[in-house]
Structures are given as structure tokens and as C-alpha cells.
Amino acid sequence: MGALSLSQVTKSFGKTEVIKGVDLEVAEGEFCVFVGPSGCGKSTLLRMIAGLEDVTDGDVSLDGVRINDLAPAKREIAMVFQTYALYPHLTVRDNMGLALKQAGEPRAAIDTAIKRASAMLELDPYLDRRPAELSGGQRQRVAIGRAIVRRPKLFLFDEPLSNLDAALRVATRIEIARLHRELGATMVYVTHDQIEAMTLADKIVVLRAGKVEQVGSPMELYNNPANTFVAGFIGSPQMNFLKAGALGQRGETLGIRPEHLRITPGGAISGSVSHVEKLGGETLVYIKTDPHGLVTLRLFGEHDFAYDAGLSLDIDAPRAFHFDKDGQRLR
Amino acid sequence: MHSARTSPVRSIAAHAILLTYTLIALFPVFVIVINSFKSRKAIFAEPLMPPMPGNWDMVGYKTVLQQGDFFQYFLNSMTVTCASLFFVLLFGAMAAFALSEYRFRGNLLMGLYLALGIMIPIRLGTVAILEMMVAGGLVNTLTALILVYTAQGLPLAVFILSEFMRSVSDDLKNAGRIDGLSEYRIFFTLVLPLVRPAMATVAVFTMIPIWNDLWFPLILAPSEETKTITLGSQVFIGQFVTNWNAVLSALSLAIVPVLVLYLIFSRQLIRGITAGAVK
């Protein structure tokens, strides 16, 4: 239950095309994350799957049935929003039960479904409160509960963690991962945060300007990016892009992750320390170089560097990526 | 609410300005009310003196209550004001919702067209309106007044409400759609409660000109059964002699209902602001 398939899906607002022919298969029970910079069309694509935006062209199918023209409520989907979007005039219980009530389910079935969801999310003490009496994290749990109650074929999440503070974000992220394991449901999740994408996804879809740049598991994208955009977007801190010519390497650009650089006296890259960030477990060193610009080096443990001290680096050659002048990967 | 810059001097100055303005605004009302309790002679001799045992006279109120059917006039004014207000708020909010929520060709032009009425006085069309009402057999009915006042109030209502409705969270409306609420349920149960402060503002701005209007009742509904309170008070103003006691008493009485309506809406307005957490 819940295999999603998009084929040649496009969306235009007037003459501007914001989604330019997206093909995608999400298998049953898969956790798929759309990731990309703001304005890349990931939220629009999610809203098209939900039925909140019309599909200009192409097909959206769920379990092999074309759902382009179905109303959102008939698609057997549930959605969790960034701003929680709880009904302010209803209690937590009624917020969670509204969709089933609208669908004409019997009272007893609704109560059972609410009980199950509230037990999963530990919402029992809050069932008779209104959204205004809850904290941000509790509200988002209610919003997730509202989605669970419906037993949808497909869960849609639209940047659900963006309004939470850092600690709560991590806790809720773990909770969503646990729910995915327990429910075994298909989920599509939109975020601009690549860490959320890496930690939650079975499959990541990297979008840029309405086009799919690459689809794959987190480690596929990390270890085998198709182009400089994906290479730069996945992984934190960002991959270093060096001038391949200056290093005597093939291609136009050489990509190397900060953890794959080594301090080597007389190494191929030399420069001076411009900034050091000590995070305890790791140390990030920003090195001003010529002609590569600012290069990030990631070291594990604590290290001390004097500002402006000279430093030579070498690359871990097997871990480097080569890109042509259009940013495409050379294999 | 207290900012760090609030100093006693600043606060006294602000209050002094506001109090002065309040006094200026209330002064005519005050003069009308005190003089309505005085004898005719006392009104002219000392118009600014409050009523005393010597010049106390309720003749104005007696005249008003005996002559003409003032209760009927009140009822007419109330009916016209409340009905017009209801339709202005209902249709204004619905049009504003459509303009702010749905993308369709000509949305912007339609919004401008609806807002145009703010700048063009409806009285310019009086002759045409009268001809229409005659053709429709609506002369001397309250319906005629309600129709005209609804039209008169709509432009401002649409303009103000559509701005407010744009600020209602899209996610909330979309959550409603996914849960299977109809567009009407979304409009009435999710959006309207959140724009209640704006509705109260529009209600106050719409209500007062309708209650005070003399023009359209005089032209469209001057019959005895359909007279409004403002028009009814005019019987005491003659070409040669004016019964000031009666005029002032009628006006004093006319203030009361509109004040009550205002209090109801302003309470709504304050409640709307304090309860207005969107998220």
C-alpha cells in the first residue's frame, strides 16, 4: 500500500515553468526526502502530490491509480505542515479526529484511532487542550498524530521541523524515524536541511530549479555525486572545489571533502590559516589558498593552529571527484 | 507593552493630547444631551449650562414620544442597519476570500474594480437608483435601503478584509482541504474567526454612516411606515419654526442604539486581538 509514481510531471504558473518534467518512483514503505535550496520547487512538488496544486502536465499515481484529478481528501494521504496548521478552535482530540469524522467513520472507530495515535506520540495528557495551550513541540506532535489517525497510504511532510528549536528538532527527527519503522508507511518529506535528509531518508531526491539532479540513497549521493551541485549540497561542511589544472589533475574541477585532506609538509596545496572552529569532537580549519580560494579541512579531535600560520595539504587521491567544466562528473 | 523609553512626561503629554481630542469630539454630543432636558427658553439663554431644577423640562421627550411613531422609526433604523451590516460582512468577506485565496484570470482587475467604489460616492447615482427602485416596485420599502447600503458598504469591506485574509496561514486552509472540509467550512470555521478583529473594524465603519444617513431614506423610503430615526427627527425642523426641544430629544435617543452596537463590536474587536494566535 502506498507506492507513489510521478511521470513527466510539470507545473507552470502562467508562463513560468517551476517543475520541469519530474520522473520518480517511491516504493511502498520507503522514506523519500526531497531536498534542495529554497525556490527549487520541492514544496510545490509535494503540494502537487497532495492535490493542493494542479498538475499542469504528466501523471501522479498512487498504487497504480492516477490521482491527478482527485480532491486532496480523496487521495488517502495525510500531510504535516511547517506551521503545524492545527485548527485553533478544536481540542487536540477533535483536531486529530476531524478527518475521520468528515469521512463519516463511526464514533467508536474514531476514538480507537485517536487512542492509538496519542499512545504512540504520548499525547494522552493533552487530548482535551486547545492548540494555544501547547508548546511548539507538542503542537507538531499533534500535527503528526492528526496524520497518523487517518491511516493514509502516503504521509507528506512539508519542512515539519523548521519551526522547532535545535534540541527539539533532533528529538522530533528521531521520533519521525521511529514512526516510520513502526508504521511501515510510505513517506515523502521535504526539507532544505541536508542533515535531516541524510539521517531520515531511504531515498534522497536532490532538486534544483524544478529539475531532479540526482536520486539515490544518502550514501550513494555522498560517495557518488553526479555533479558539483549534488556534491556541494550533500555533506557538511561543504565539499572543497579545487582547480584541477593547478593540481595537474584531469577535468576542470576537483572535488574533495574536508575530511579527505591531509596535512603534509610540501603538499600540493599550500596556504595560510584564516579561521579555526573547534567543535570538541572535531576541528574545522579554513585555509586561504591560491588559486583555490578558501579550503576547509576537517580534523578529528582538538587541534591548535596559529592564525596566518602556513600550512600544506595533500589530497586523498582515491576519494577525489573529477568534474568537467559544466559541473558534470567525469568517471 | 511598556517600552523602555516611556517617561512620565511623555505619557502625560500623550494623554493630554488624547483627552483634548476626546473633549472636542464629545462636546457637540454633550451639548445635545444636556439641552434636550431643558426648557426652550433655557436652551437659547444659556446653551452651555447643564440642566438645573429651575430650567428642567422634559417637554422634548414628551413631544417625541407622543408625536409620530418613534418606536417604529427606531425599529426601521435598527432593521436597516443590522440587515445591511449582515450582508456587507457576509458578501464582503466572501468576495475578499475569493480574491485572496484563488488564482484566476483577472483577479487583480476584479479587486481594483471592487475597490473603486471607495472613491466614487454612491450618491452620484441617486437618480438612477431611484429609477431602478421605482421599476422594481421597491420605493418606500426597507429592502430598497438595505440594498443601497449593502452596495455602499461593500467596497471598503472587500478592500480591508482581503488584506487581512491574505495573512491567514495557507497551511491551515490546506490542512482543512486534506481533512475533507468544504471550501465553505474552511471559510466559515477556519478563516472567519481569525479575521474577527478586521470584521469588527469593518462593522463599525459601515454601521455609522448607515445609521446617520438622511439622503436615501428621504428619497427612497419617506413613507410613515418606513421612516428611519434620522428622517423621523426632521419633522420637528420646520422652514420657519423649529421645535428644538423635540429635535434634541430625538437626537439624544438616536445615539443610544448605535452606541450599544458599537460597544458590542468593540468588545469583539478586543477579544479578537487577545485571542488571535494563528499558530
- Which residues 20-59 of A are in CB contact (within 8 Å) with B? 47, 50-52
* Distance between CA atoms of residues B69 and B76, nearest Å: 11
Closest chain A CA to residue B277? A132
Q: Are B232 and B70 in contact (CB under 8 A)?
A: yes
Q: CB contact, 8 Å: A135 with chain B?
A: no
- Which residues 236-275 of B are in CB contact (within 8 Å) with A? 275
Strand partners, A212: A207
Question: Nearest-CA distance from B182 to chain A in Å?
Answer: 10
Q: Residue A136, exposed/middle/buried by CB under 10 A (0-12, 13-18, 19+)? A: middle
SS3 B56: strand
Model confidence at A12: pLDDT above 90:
yes
Question: Nearest-CA distance from A135 to chain B in Å?
Answer: 10
pLDDT for A236 = 87
Closest chain B CA to residue A95? B179
pLDDT for B217 = 93
Helix extents (H) in B37-119: 40-45, 59-66, 70-101, 107-116
Closest chain A CA to residue B180? A73
pLDDT for B53 = 81
pLDDT for B271 = 60
Judging contacts by C-beta atoms under 8 Å, the chain B residues touching residue A87 are 172, 175-176, 189-190
Taking the CB of residue B61, how many other CB atoms lie within 10 A of it? 19
Torsion, CA B28, CA B31, CA B32, CA B35, rounded to 10: -170
Q: Are A234 and A221 in contact (CB under 8 A)?
A: yes
Q: What is the mean pLDDT of residues A158-177?
A: 91
Which candidate, B80, B32, B66, B122, places its Cα nearest to that of B228? Answer: B80
Indicate yes or no: CB of B178 within 8 angstroms of CB of A78.
yes
Indicate yes or no: CB of B171 within 8 angstroms of CB of A85.
yes
Indicate yes or no: CB of A85 within 8 angstroms of CB of B174.
yes
Indicate yes or no: CB of A83 within 8 angstroms of CB of B172.
yes
Q: What is the mean pLDDT of residues B220-226?
A: 90
pLDDT for B269 = 67
- Which residues 80-109 of A are in CB contact (within 8 Å) with B? 81-89, 98-99, 102-103
Q: How confident is the model at residue B83 (pLDDT cuts 50, 70, 90)?
A: very high
Which candidate, A329, A160, A162, places its Cα nearest to that of A244? Answer: A329
Model confidence at B273: pLDDT above 60:
no
Q: What is the mean pLDDT of residues B144-164?
A: 93
Edge-to-edge order in the sheet of strand A282-289:
A261-263, A310-315, A269-278, A282-289, A293-300
- What's the pTM? 0.82
Q: How confident is the model at residue B18 (pLDDT cuts 50, 70, 90)?
A: very high
Judging contacts by C-beta atoms under 8 Å, the chain B residues touching residue A77 are 178
Model confidence at B3: pLDDT above 60:
no
Q: How confident is the model at residue B277 (pLDDT cuts 50, 70, 90)?
A: very low
Q: CB contact, 8 Å: B169 with chain A?
A: yes
Judging contacts by C-beta atoms under 8 Å, the chain A residues touching residue B178 are 50-52, 72-73, 77-79, 99
Which candidate, B216, B50, B70, places its Cα nearest to that of B143? Answer: B216
Q: CB contact, 8 Å: A71 with chain B?
A: yes
My answer on whether omega of the bond before A72 falls inside 30° of 0, hence cis, is no
Closest chain B CA to residue A135? B279
Q: What is the mean pLDDT of residues A107-112?
A: 94
Q: CB contact, 8 Å: A281 with chain B?
A: no
Judging contacts by C-beta atoms under 8 Å, the chain B residues touching residue A147 are none
* Distance between CA atoms of residues A18 and A300, nearest Å: 42
Give the DSSP H/E element, type plus range, for residue A112.
Answer: helix A107-121
Complex ipTM value: 0.86
CB under 8 Å to A44, separation ≥6 — which residues? A11, A18, A19, A53
Locate A153 and state its grid cell.
497510504
Q: Are A330 and A323 in contact (CB under 8 A)?
A: yes
Q: CB contact, 8 Å: A11 with chain B?
A: no
Interface test with B, best of A49, A102, A110 (most B CBs within 10 A): A102
Locate B167 and state its grid cell.
495573512
Which candidate, A173, A71, A216, A129, places its Cα nearest to that of B180? Answer: A71
Q: What is the mean pLDDT of residues A53-80?
A: 93
* Distance between CA atoms of residues A214 and A198, nearest Å: 14
* Distance between CA atoms of residues A108 and A104, nearest Å: 12
Identify the structural domains of chain A with CATH numbers, from first to last.
4-226 (3.40.50.300), 237-330 (2.40.50.140)
Q: Residue A29, exposed/middle/buried by CB under 10 A (0-12, 13-18, 19+)? A: middle
Q: What is the mean pLDDT of residues B217-246?
A: 86
Closest chain A CA to residue B194? A88
SS3 B69: coil
* Distance between CA atoms of residues A19 and A23, nearest Å: 11
Indicate yes or no: CB of B178 within 8 angstroms of CB of A89.
no
pLDDT 10s digits, A152-162: 999 999 999 99
Identify the structural domains of chain B with CATH numbers, from first to last.
1-57 (no CATH), 59-274 (1.10.3720.10)
Judging contacts by C-beta atoms under 8 Å, the chain B residues touching residue A84 are 171, 279
Model confidence at A114: pLDDT above 60:
yes
Question: Nearest-CA distance from A78 to chain B in Å?
Answer: 7
Model confidence at B272: pLDDT above 60:
no
Model confidence at B211: pLDDT above 80:
yes
CA of A49: how far to CAs of A72, A155, A157, A208, in Å? 9, 10, 11, 18
Taking the CB of residue B47, how many other CB atoms lie within 10 A of it? 12
Q: How confident is the model at residue B274 (pLDDT cuts 50, 70, 90)?
A: low
Q: Helix, strand, coil shares of chain A as percentages rounded to 5?
A: 30, 35, 35
Judging contacts by C-beta atoms under 8 Å, the chain B residues touching residue A14 are none
Closest to B171 (Cβ–Cβ): which among A82, A98, A103? A82
Q: How confident is the model at residue B279 (pLDDT cuts 50, 70, 90)?
A: very low
Indicate yes or no: CB of A89 within 8 angstroms of CB of B175.
no
Give the DSSP H/E element, type plus range, for residue A4.
Answer: strand A4-13
Q: How far is CA A276 from the centre of its chain?
A: 28
- Long-range Cβ pairs for the range A54-59 (8 Å, 24+): A54/A11, A55/A9, A55/A10, A55/A11, A56/A10, A56/A11, A56/A12, A56/A19, A57/A8, A57/A9, A57/A10, A58/A6, A58/A7, A58/A8, A58/A9, A58/A10, A58/A21, A58/A22, A59/A5, A59/A6, A59/A7, A59/A8, A59/A9
Strand partners, A275: A286
- Which residues 119-138 of B are in CB contact (within 8 Å) with A? none
Mean of the per-residue pLDDT values of chain B: 87
Taking the CB of residue A219, how many other CB atoms lie within 10 A of it? 11
Q: CB contact, 8 Å: B107 with chain A?
A: no
pLDDT for B1 = 46
User: Using N-to-C axis directions, what is the helix angle for A166-183 and A107-121, rounded to 10°?
Assistant: 130
Q: CB contact, 8 Å: B193 with chain A?
A: yes
* Distance between CA atoms of residues A80 and A74, nearest Å: 17
Model confidence at A25: pLDDT above 90:
yes
Question: Nearest-CA distance from A98 to chain B in Å?
Answer: 7
Judging contacts by C-beta atoms under 8 Å, the chain B residues touching residue A146 are 175, 179
* Distance between CA atoms of residues B10 and B162, nearest Å: 37
